[in-house]
């Protein structure tokens, strides 16, 4: 297998203690699968690389349909619990079986087996069934064709360079990595489709797109493209992109036919319309459903999907306008057409109503929409959460979103249920994350940010995993199986989201970031701008009244969430300032005043970063030098960032409120 000048991350297959796995893996039978199938070949290659690296076994004997100690078997019986893309690992009487319903499941099953070997787990008596929780599990890349990455913190794109599509060893390793954690769909280009990227659906690029799509297919991944809604104008020379215009429809019909002729396995299109300056159906007085359905109807004969983003809001708001509430915009733009979307449209909804802040309520579109396919969009790229300089393990945040009860019906009403298809019995559902990779040696800038890259895939495949389980897996696969390393790195990862929250914006208010770059503190950076992201702090208090007495946002939720959020007393405190305008001397449940809470958390946040650094330093001898140094260097930058946040936020609120810190600490 081609190895390049980049890390193999959790597929490094370094030497491991053999806890008995060696007894099975050298004698392999394929039962019900053809060794000639492209995905089976990849699974076998992976098995080979894994056992060679981890167990020192040079090769295995492969037999078709004969008995062996490792049987890779197609599960077909009616009583099988194994579902599409699922697998089961079973050990009985000295025979280990990886049973799967299809080739993708087999690939995931082999990855699951190699994971256990890498974690030095015994396979004796194992009986473990893994079915994917969500049908669609996607990474969305915001890569531009010039090689830059929007909100990328790990170097340049490995999909594009100088307006060319790249298909090489790195893209193959990318496919290996993400398929090994269960990803089955990838959007390779930025949702802000401009310039050369608009041409991705033309002959200029389709040959290369096909090559990449075929590489992905080997690994059970469908390639998707983000498309420019104004393509009929920009590529076709038409005067309009009105979805109801017959000429526009004809243009898309021809284009889609040509795209699928060139790339038959294409998964479909992702569309950012009427959002942050991108064109869309609103320009023509049409609804989002009109726009999405027009494309869906035309792509349906090819089995394609339209993933339509719900990130629609007015980004040219006047800050003096206190009635318009950006948080309400997504729901208001989509709820009216619930039920109007075709079955091959999936609405892709950001986890919160704003924009990937460190703390936001879950979007009320989940639970609000009942007759429309939905998928969740989260951001693994740390745009607002430390930009892969600050440690911020995001799986706990994603877990909270999955576990959120929308109360849209009595049972099975968690976000996790909705995006698994259990709530409304639909097939076209899923989960997507904005990816955090680039062409840095370690893929993610910070080595610890790879825990998010790994973890999102694992969580998408198995909603039941805890943040702790995923962290432990990643540490064992990537850093070390030494108990001390596992314990301490887990501690760093698991506290990191709260630590980041402590030294940045308090109690769900969000933002306060440096405009445009979104790294570092600027309390009023967006306060008097057009983006609709205000904290409205004055000398009396802070927060936005989104109760029914305020903007009414709380009313977009189902009961009892609507009532809880509406009430100052019952509102979950971590979201208090998102939903309410609160005076500085308001007493929190801890007994502290709001202002004292702000001071305390900001001091604590910095102290906890110092503790994280001390923990990391105590592992110097146990972690590979380069990884240790890279992380350590970023931790210094994190500490500097945290101090700056602490001092600016505390000084800001001290100056606004005039209320001193009860503990008399230095505030400037
Ligand atoms: C791709 C935020 C980001 C933008 C991003 C946008 C989106 O506003 O700052 O960079 O654009 O979200 O999700 O479309």
Q: What distance in angstroms lies between residue 278's CA and the mean position of ligand 1's atoms?
A: 11
At 78 the pLDDT is 54
Mean pLDDT of 586-595: 98
Buried b (16+ CB within 10 A) or exposed e, 425-463: ebebbbbbbbbbbbbbebbbbbbbbbbbbbbbbbbbbbb
Give the model's confidence band at 52: pLDDT under 50 very low, under 70 low, under 90 confident, else very high: very high
Class of domain 9-130: alpha beta
Q: What is the pLDDT of residues 444-455, one digit of tens each?
A: 999 999 999 999
Contact 509, 578 (CB under 8 A): yes
Name 350's bridge partners: 377
Atom of ligand 1 nearest to the CA of 192: 1
Atom of ligand 1 nearest to the CA of 278: 14
At 144 the pLDDT is 98
Atom of ligand 1 nearest to the CA of 150: 10
Look at residues 75, 84, 96, 78 and name the one whose alpha carbon lies nearest to residue 25: 96
**Does the pLDDT value for residue 63 go beyond 90?**
no
347: phi then psi, degrees, rounded to nearest 5: -80, 125
Q: Is the CB of 311 under 6 A from ligand 1?
A: yes
| Residue identifier of the C-alpha nearest atom 11 of ligand 1 | 192
Give the chain's radius of gyration (CA, Å): 25
Catalytic residue among 203, 276, 318, 403: 276
CA distance 188 to 181: 18
Give the model's confidence band at 511: pLDDT under 50 very low, under 70 low, under 90 confident, else very high: very high
Three-state SS at 348: strand
Structure tokens at 339: 């039920």
Class of domain 502-544+581-657: alpha beta
Other C-beta atoms closer than 10 Å to the C-beta of 124 total: 14
Catalytic residue among 140, 143, 355, 473: 355
Contact 409, 417 (CB under 8 A): no
> Is position 383 annotated as part of the catalytic site?
yes
Report the percentage of the chain scoring pLDDT > 70.
Answer: 99
| Residue identifier of the C-alpha nearest atom 8 of ligand 1 | 355
Mean pLDDT of 181-207: 98
**Does the pLDDT value for residue 2 go beyond 50?**
no
In a mutational test of the pocket of ligand 1, which residue from 355, 379, 387 has the highest number of ligand atoms less than 8 Å from its CB?
A: 355
Q: What is the pLDDT of residues 602-654, one digit of tens each?
A: 999 999 999 999 999 999 999 999 999 999 999 999 999 999 999 999 999 99
Q: Is the CB of 356 under 6 A from ligand 1?
A: no
Q: Is the CB of 355 under 6 A from ligand 1?
A: yes
**Does the pLDDT value for residue 221 go beyond 50?**
yes
Three-state SS at 474: helix
At 417 the pLDDT is 98
Return the half-sphere exposure (C-beta side, CA atoms, 13 A cut-off) of residue 346: 29
Q: Is the CB of 156 under 6 A from ligand 1?
A: no
> Is position 168 annotated as part of the catalytic site?
no
Give the model's confidence band at 37: pLDDT under 50 very low, under 70 low, under 90 confident, else very high: very high
pTM of the model: 0.98
Name 577's bridge partners: none
CATH of 137-206+221-233+272-466, one of 3.20.20.80, 3.40.50.720, 3.90.180.10, 3.40.50.980: 3.20.20.80
> Is position 276 annotated as part of the catalytic site?
yes
Atom of ligand 1 nearest to the CA of 142: 1
Look at residues 503, 379, 510, 399 and name the one whose alpha carbon lies nearest to residue 449: 379
Q: What distance in angstroms lies between residue 623's CA and the mean position of ligand 1's atoms?
A: 35
Same fold, 9-130 and 137-206+221-233+272-466: no
Q: What are the distances in angstroms from CA 609 to CA 377, 503, 559, 646? A: 29, 9, 39, 12
Q: Where are the domains of the chain?
A: 9-130, 137-206+221-233+272-466, 502-544+581-657
Spatial CB neighbours of 454, under 8 Å, sequence gap ≥ 6: 9, 10, 181, 470, 473, 474, 477, 478
Atom of ligand 1 nearest to the CA of 350: 13
């Amino acid at each position: 297998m081609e190895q390049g000048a980049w890390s193999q991350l959790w597929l490094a297959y370094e030497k491991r203690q053999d806890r008995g796995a060696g007894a099975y893996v050298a004698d392999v039978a394929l039962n019900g699968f053809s060794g000639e199938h492209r995905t089976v070949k990849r699974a076998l290659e992976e098995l080979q690389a894994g056992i060679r690296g981890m167990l020192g076994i040079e090769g295995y004997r492969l037999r078709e349909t004969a008995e062996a100690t490792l049987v890779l078997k197609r599960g077909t019986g009616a009583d099988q619990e194994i579902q599409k893309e699922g697998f089961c690992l079973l050990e009985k009487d000295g025979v280990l079986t990886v049973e799967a319903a299809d080739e993708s499941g087999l690939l995931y099953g082999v990855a699951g087996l190699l994971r256990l070997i890498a974690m030095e787990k015994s396979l004796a008596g194992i009986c473990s069934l893994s079915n994917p929780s969500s049908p669609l599990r996607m990474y969305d890349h915001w890569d531009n064709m010039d090689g830059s990455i929007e909100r990328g913190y790990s170097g340049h794109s490995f999909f594009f360079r100088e307006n060319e599509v790249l298909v090489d060893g790195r893209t193959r390793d990318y496919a290996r990595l993400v398929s090994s954690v269960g990803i089955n769909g990838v959007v390779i280009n930025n949702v802000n489709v401009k310039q050369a990227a608009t041409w991705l659906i033309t002959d200029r690029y389709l040959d290369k797109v096909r090559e990449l799509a075929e590489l992905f297919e080997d690994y059970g991944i469908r390639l998707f493209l983000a498309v420019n809604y104004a393509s009929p104008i920009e590529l076709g020379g038409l005067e309009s992109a009105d979805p109801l215009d017959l000429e526009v429809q004809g243009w898309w019909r021809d284009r889609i036919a040509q795209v699928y002729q060139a790339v038959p396995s294409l998964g479909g299109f992702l569309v950012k319309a009427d959002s942050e300056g991108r064109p869309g159906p609103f320009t023509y007085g049409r609804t989002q459903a009109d726009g999405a359905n027009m494309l869906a109807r035309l792509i349906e004969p090819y089995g394609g999907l339209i993933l339509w983003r719900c990130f629609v809001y007015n980004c040219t708001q006047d800050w003096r306008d206190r009635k318009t509430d950006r948080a309400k915009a997504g729901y208001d733009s989509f709820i009216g057409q619930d039920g109007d979307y075709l079955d091959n449209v999936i609405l892709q909804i950001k986890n919160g109503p704003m924009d990937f802040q460190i703390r936001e309520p879950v979007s009320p579109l989940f639970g609000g929409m009942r007759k429309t396919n939905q998928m969740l969009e989260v951001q693994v790229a740390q745009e607002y959460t430390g930009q892969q300089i600050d440690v911020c393990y995001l799986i706990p945040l994603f877990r909270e979103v999955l576990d959120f009860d929308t109360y849209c019906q009595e049972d099975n009403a968690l976000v996790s249920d909705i995006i698994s298809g259990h709530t409304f019995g639909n097939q076209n559902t899923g989960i997507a994350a904005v990816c955090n990779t680039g062409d840095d040696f370690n893929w993610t800038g910070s080595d610890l940010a790879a825990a998010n890259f790994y973890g999102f895939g694992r969580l998408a495949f198995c909603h039941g995993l805890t943040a702790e389980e995923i962290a432990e897996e990643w540490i064992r696969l990537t850093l070390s199986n030494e108990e001390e390393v596992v314990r301490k790195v887990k501690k760093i990862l698991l506290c990191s989201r709260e630590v980041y929250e402590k030294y940045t914006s308090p109690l769900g208010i969000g933002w306060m970031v440096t405009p445009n770059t979104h790294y570092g503190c600027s309390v009023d950076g967006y306060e008097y701008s057009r983006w609709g992201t205000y904290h409205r702090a004055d000398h009396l208090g802070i927060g936005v009244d989104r109760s029914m007495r305020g903007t009414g946002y709380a009313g977009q939720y189902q009961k009892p969430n609507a009532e809880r959020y509406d009430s100052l007393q019952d509102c979950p405190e971590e979201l208090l300032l998102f939903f309410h305008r609160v005076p500085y001397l308001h007493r929190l449940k801890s007994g502290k005043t709001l202002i004292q809470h702000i001071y305390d958390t900001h001091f604590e946040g910095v102290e906890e970063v110092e503790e994280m650094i001390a923990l990391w330093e105590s592992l110097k001898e146990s972690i590979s030098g380069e990884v240790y140094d890279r992380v350590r260097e970023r931790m210094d930058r994190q500490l500097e960032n945290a101090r700056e946040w602490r001092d600016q936020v505390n000084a800001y609120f001290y100056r606004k409120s005039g209320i001193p810190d009860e503990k008399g600490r230095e505030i400037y």
